[in-house]
Structure 1
Amino acid sequence: MRRGLRQRLPVLKDFVRIQRQIHAGYGARWTWDVCQGSKIYKRWGVSVRRGLLSGLLRRNIVGIDIGSSSVKVVELSANGKQGDFRLEKCASELIERSAVADGNLVNIDAVGSALKRAIAKAGIRSKDAVLAIPASLTESQTVSLPDNLTEDELFVQVESEANRLFPPSQNVNFDYVVIGPSETEGGIGVRVMATVAERVTERVTAAEMAGLRPIVMDVEENAIQRAMTHMRAVKTSATEAEMRDMPVVAMFHLGGANSQALFYQGWKELYEQPLSGSGDQLTQSISRLFSLDLLKAEVKKRKNTLPDEYRSQLLKPSLETLAMEVSQAIQNFLSTSSVGRVDEIVLSGGHASLLGVQTAIQQQTQINTTLANPFANMGAAKNVNARYLQRDLPAYIVSAGLALRGLQ
């Protein structure tokens, strides 16, 4: 990454890169707007929708979650009224098991094709899309900066910090989040995040193959936090004093390739920890035991159509291991935090809907455990099949959080 607020960067098709900063505690992202030209410029800007119809017409945004075994797409809409969100359409589609590895899009064509199928299955016609980079592909650092900096001054300070996260020879994209007052008097805490530009480019390419127009690139962890804040009706304007009276929620995001524990009070993240278990590990065990290819093993696992020995030989031990890891993560949080309690556990991610996960974790921890519903506190279009959607609700938390980002 080269220095300079207006430094020209390498070509990323015909997009202009506009970096913005949202003071909501979790809104940083990379943003593009379509334009003519062959260069990407780092610019600072905020778009404002104006006009007599801005409060009447609904805006639609598609959130795209690219996982290791599937892609999830969610279309949300909103009108000018704050918080008036509606689920329009959603769908998921399995992808080739080798298409995504460790968050990298190894086979962009396969991912683009899966996205195209998911968009068609859902019947989505909107083009503006929000995507995300996995936290595992980013480097981050929290710094304390003076709270009286102008936006341009803050940008320059953040760029300097981001330069330290990667070698100077690497071309990277970066963003940042203002997370609230710092311990230093007159300071603010700022989380700086950066990733290699190639990781951004490959996701934009896959989305374009599906006929979509990427307008925002976020970080998955931010999307989870945003969805959690919305579904629990937490006001992003809540002060530190107000949040001290709010429940402490342990969010366990159980994904295919990666899982993590995220602890929140109000909108504020208190602690995070990666987990070693993942849904892909169970799929691989199923594949070996029943001599199935990975795609068929994944389908049968999701539909719960495996032979009886699956439950005794694979599922039960897997759930016991997961429950113990969840319990250990809670103990780690309690030993490092001054909060001293966990009031509720919320499970998200595709693995969260697996038969028996919720019960196993609640029995192990003795803490009330629920499945995430990222579409809580919003309406739903008439064509949404709520019964069909019910079993997959936790899996849509990232894509729902991304769509919310595009509408806020």
Structure 2
Amino acid sequence: MFGFGRKQTALLGIDIGSSAIKLVELAPGSATGSKPFQVEALALEPLPPHSLVEKKIADVAQVGQAIAVAVKRSQSKTKRAVVAVAGSAVITKVLSVNAELSDAEMEAQIQLEAEQYVPYPLEEVNLDFDVLGPSESSAGMVDVLLAASRQENVDDRVAALELAGLNVEIVDIESNAVENASGLLIHAAKLGPDRLTAVVDIGATTTTLHVLRAGQNVYAREQSFGGQQLVEEVQRRFGWAREEALSRLTTAPIPAPLQAEVLGPFQEALARQLARALQFFYSTSAFSRVDEVLLTGGVAQVPELAEQMAKRLALPVQAADPFAQMAMPAELDHLLQQHGRSAMLIAVGLAMRRFQ
């Protein structure tokens, strides 16, 4: 189940974020139309505070209830679902194995080699693997991606979805979901497929930098910095309720006191965090510059955030829209205008597993 489960005819992509459940269901677009995908259903349901702690589910019942509400609001009849664990909760390793091994022999070989790379007893982890293709370094060998995570990381997510009446068909990794959606992002943004694209997912409590090349995730790094800090500071400074704070932050024009006292300092801090994350990438790779930055997450809908980040980073920056190449009913488009299209990136990537 973990990592690379089988494809089904219809799947709900369920992103369990730090502050909300995001749900997306996709279908093939019209064979004669310009949109390759059709949005069948979507929903965004807030989570009670502290339901997740450092991307681990702290209250399975609360999360399950929120998923059930999201499913009901989406009006989807699909019961098959795909969910993801955070990249920080997963150990991955590319192994080279003999290409002539049968599936059973390859699985046994990988189980043996996994003991070298997984720092937990194997009976306490979920293991899966995917054959990437012929090895470039060794003739007669194939590269295999091994993925492993503690059982609790997988089991808690499965339990939450089952409480909502869903059947979990696939447990993926968040970075894989970003990679799945990256083709849409690059196409929508009219970026070259061989360019180096930084996708910055600004979550409620964690910001994750993904660097993509030719649609493949070549680097990922998480930092403890997110939009929740911005919302809480707005509430503290101005005494607004959470919903009002969110509305003020995402509606242009931004009031001058809010920009000067809270949003400006947050933008400076975010730029420093991103510059530091990019510098870590440069120091561990053969690259010295990315070609562009795509912002995702709820914070990405703050007016002029992309423009401000572009000035501070001296790089092209824009908000990502994973729905740009999708046909969508008007009522769902209105819902996205309320909550932000960029926040649904991982859910879209998970829902795209239907087509793999």
- Is the contact made by 1:92 and 1:118 (CA closer than 8 Å) also made in structure 2? yes
State which of 246, 251, 255 in structure 2 corresponds to 1:302: 246
Partner-residue secondary structure (3-state), 1:60: coil
CA–CA distance in 2 between the matches of 1:361 and 1:189? 38
Partner-residue secondary structure (3-state), 1:232: helix
- Which amino acid counterpart does residue 403 of structure 1 have in structure 2? A
- Which amino acid counterpart does residue 152 of structure 1 have in structure 2? A
Do the aligned partners of residues 227 and 78 (structure 1) sit closer, same or farther apart at CA in structure 2, a change above 3 Å counting?
same
Partner-residue secondary structure (3-state), 1:317: helix
Deviations 1:270-312 (A, max 9, x none): 22222342122323434544567xxx43x33432269864432
Per the TM alignment, residue 268 of structure 1 is displaced from its structure 2 partner at its CA by 2.1
Matches within 5 A, 1:218-229: 218-229=172-183
Per the TM alignment, residue 339 of structure 1 is displaced from its structure 2 partner at its CA by 4.2
- Is the contact made by 1:170 and 1:196 (CA closer than 8 Å) also made in structure 2? no
- Which amino acid counterpart does residue 171 of structure 1 have in structure 2? E
CA–CA distance in 1 between the matches of 2:322 and 2:12? 14
CA–CA distance in 1 between the matches of 2:134 and 2:216? 11
Residue 122 of structure 1 is matched in structure 2 by: 74
Matches within 5 A, 1:155-304: 155-163=107-115, 164-168=117-121, 170-179=123-132, 182=135, 184-186=137-139, 187-233=141-187, 246-290=194-238, 296-297=241-242, 299-304=243-248
- Is the contact made by 1:115 and 1:210 (CA closer than 8 Å) also made in structure 2? yes
Partner-residue secondary structure (3-state), 1:126: coil
CA–CA distance in 2 between the matches of 1:379 and 1:340? 38
Deviations 1:11-38 (A, max 9, x none): xxxxxx5x7xxxxxxxx42x4xxxxxxx
Partner-residue secondary structure (3-state), 1:200: helix
1:100 aligns with 2:52: yes
When the two chains are superposed, the root-mean-square deviation of aligned CA atoms in Å is 3.0
CA–CA distance in 1 between the matches of 2:228 and 2:25? 27
Do the aligned partners of residues 64 and 184 (structure 1) sit closer, same or farther apart at CA in structure 2, a change above 3 Å counting?
same
- Which amino acid counterpart does residue 201 of structure 1 have in structure 2? D
* TM-score, length basis structure 2: 0.85
- Is the contact made by 1:134 and 1:219 (CA closer than 8 Å) also made in structure 2? yes
Identity of aligned residues (%): 28
Residue 75 of structure 1 is matched in structure 2 by: 25
Residue 66 of structure 1 is matched in structure 2 by: 16
1:153 aligns with 2:100: no
Matches within 5 A, 1:359-378: 359-378=307-326
Do the aligned partners of residues 80 and 218 (structure 1) sit closer, same or farther apart at CA in structure 2, a change above 3 Å counting?
farther
How many residues are paired up? 344
CA–CA distance in 2 between the matches of 1:337 and 1:199? 30
Per the TM alignment, residue 149 of structure 1 is displaced from its structure 2 partner at its CA by 3.6
- Which amino acid counterpart does residue 67 of structure 1 have in structure 2? G
CA–CA distance in 2 between the matches of 1:286 and 1:80? 44
- Is the contact made by 1:326 and 1:361 (CA closer than 8 Å) also made in structure 2? no
State which of 301, 314, 318 in structure 2 corresponds to 1:353: 301
Do the aligned partners of residues 330 and 106 (structure 1) sit closer, same or farther apart at CA in structure 2, a change above 3 Å counting?
closer
Do the aligned partners of residues 173 and 245 (structure 1) sit closer, same or farther apart at CA in structure 2, a change above 3 Å counting?
closer
